[in-house]
Amino acid sequence: MNHDITKEKGGAFSRTLEEVDVGDTIVYHVGAYAKGPHKSDALKAYEAGLCLLYQRKLPDGQFAYTASKKKVKK
């Protein structure tokens, strides 16, 4: 399932990542460059091994910056 938090305020990324299922995606920014209130939280979650980050090119030359929740090994 795809979750779009591009219009939500800071702090929404971590909350959404916690609530979604493994394999679900979170679009946290759309634009030419990665930025916005969720960029830092997305990078921290990636560094902690909680998600994968990638970008999808959109037809208008913009990118959808996206995180995919990973299964966490215990």
Whether 69 and 21 have beta carbons less than 8 Å apart is answered as yes
Each domain of the chain, given as residue ranges in start order, spans 2-69
pTM of the model: 0.93
- In the chain the first and final C-alpha atoms are separated, in Å, by 24
List the beta bridge partners of residue 63: 31, 57
**pLDDT tens digits along 20-57:** 999 999 999 999 999 999 999 999 999 999 999 999 99
pLDDT at 72: 85
d(CA 46, CA 50) in angstroms, rounded, equals 6
d(CA 19, CA 59) in angstroms, rounded, equals 30
Per-residue pLDDT for 68 more than 90?
yes
